[in-house]
A and B are shown apart, each in its own frame.
Chain A
């Protein structure tokens, strides 16, 4: 209540002071008018004689209330003064706070993500000693070890403190109560200890649980534990059904755990590698291997220690294959962050750039403010306000602006972070744990404090020196904006190229469902084949269906089964060279496959129902494979026999090439086989339905049909397009982030250009008047202003384009279908920014051109 009254009285005082001064100036104006001045000029002269109303107001106000009592009170009063004087300059205040909010908000939001990618350690104890070990071969897109080799290599003890292995994550199903499709990864019992990860409840795998064919043990991810089991602290020991087989939960991972490939993993199970069999090469599993270097051992020494093992590995493979295999060792840190690290640096650069632009803007604005107050400042100085006092006043204003910008920026950052988490693709290190933590609070506050100090020292020197400084700042802004927009442009171009990729598949009106057939229920090939048959006939009954097919996996993914090109024998001749020539995909399909996916058959015919399960083997080749195996020849009727297959297969058709190795990779050659219950029926099953009905409806009906066959089978159902959207997720995320920065940057740069020019026109009103009085036309005045802008814009454009080119070379790996020096992108960006500067210059230039020369000359 008392505060209210006080504020009311303060408002009264302010109003009275204003009225008192107003009266004074009116009286003075009347006096001038009597002396013969025009009413307009007399008012201006009276105002001029009075001096700065804001200072008189403030000083009178201070005297009215009483002198300063304490330092706190003085600071409070100074801030109050700053607040009121900012309120009288709403344009400056709004522009400065906005610049800070955008700059700081964007920067803090992205930094909180990038910080995890670039600057934090791995979520493993002493993670900098961890390495990834493997052989790189055309068989797989990442380095791996074969099970037998892992068993041998882990005996290396001179350089490595230990070597452990994991599988790639795979789909698995928890089939109790409400079945759920999850992502599982097998890990050796040595995995968690080597990585220094302690389960937060329960325990690690015991060696005896990591033996082949013993009942599985499960360690839950923290998220799964909380979501599905309500964070039950006594979860260890609970029995569950995994893929239809009994398993026991033995522990829970800490929330900070990340799988070394950054893949989403819901639960860890024991790897259960049959080492005895693997050593004899009777079974061949592929594992990812990770080692920990002993203290003091360098990467080179570790590599040298592994060379003998690698040499031994080479003796176990076909000689012709050896040339295509090499040993790969690298820091886990690098392997994990890989592409995300490049993206992280790009974003970090963008953050820095936006902050720089925001800062130059504020520097610029505060210079303009200092200049527009030069008169006021002079009076205050004359009245005895010391230089320190003036600087303090300036600093108080900046501190208020900075404080407002800080609050605004952090709120914006919180919003951005929430958006990132929602939209970001999987596999960005630490994104789940990213937050606006103390570090970011302090960092941003520190940066602001430094800038407040720097800028409160800025506005000294002569007007022309200030002007030069401001032009330089704008040049810098334009340059940084070009750099930002060009980088964003390249990523957008990449994204467009990616979405323009022709899959060779018609995805409209197609809905897919996929599942993994569990070990227990679908033990034999015949079980699985029976499921495929029932599935296809059930789906055929759906409304509006024009085609139905089942396959082990749908493009653009591979079924994960491949053979080497060199191991295919043609027309009874032996294979050309085993283990060479790159990978050939194998896919098992039902006859409707090509129709359902709209894949064109270049030659021959699709499979017919009779060919399923028939002794007479038939095969369809992809166009690329057909051209390679049968150059200048019609392959129809010829036969092929891959090494290890029981029989030869007659080619009945050639299908158009399809994206089958991910989005950006080359199409791999491909062989299509009909399902063959005598040979194989893979556990992975994907059904595809082409229908005229609405995809959402079709998806629901498909789910119902499959549930009717097996109610406990976890499913992934959705339109085909959503599969592709997922593959685009990362480039889209990068492009969106960078575009946001570019947008903010351009906006701030435009503000900068506008601010400087508007100021220039105000400063040079007299000069413009003289020029016009001497005969300069309006057009020439406008041209003079524009040429002035362009002189520093062009420098900025050139610098920015050069910077963008240099930067884009660094993130070449993020680009697709566009070169870093893409003239189209750079050209558009340069033109765009030139237009933005011209637009920002337009208003002040117009104002200059429409000035009345007589009036401007009379003004002084």
Chain B
């Protein structure tokens, strides 16, 4: 269940209250997010839409602990992340958040396997355990046979699938996808969206996705519209699951 009125019961996976983000540009204050409320349950698939500059990516950055709000708070699985120190927040991110970027952001000098392995280097898993996890993640995204390929040897869609494998390999609490199909052709975009669908459907992942693409948004259970830093409506969309 997704709510934007701040009346959630407090049992959701993500609970955002009065979230604001203001940037200072010279003497001018830019209010990117203004008193935003949001409740997301575990297993939800939420898409954020809105015009450029509406605050979608800023919201995603705040939910992922990459940035700190000017006001308000964010609670994820009981952790109040807006009060964490930078060091704690980094550790929290490693444990709870899987990022999927529009430009894939793979490290070009590492193979698909090594890229996916990166988040696991932060854990105490043995080399053999890491290998097993990476192979599983690559198998889930359908790239088990490409694990020793470098990003330059993969298509855009395959690169994004490696990016998704990297995001899911530490089994994070939720996935944050920033325009995951923004740089792909239609066919590849559909394959990526099918994959995200599977992660939500088969693996019960919680996914929050920013997109400009209405066809991508259709896949989500709920589409939230942001305008001038405010969530204006929540539309139940997508396919009934």
Instruction: Tell me, yes or no, whether A binds B.
Output: no
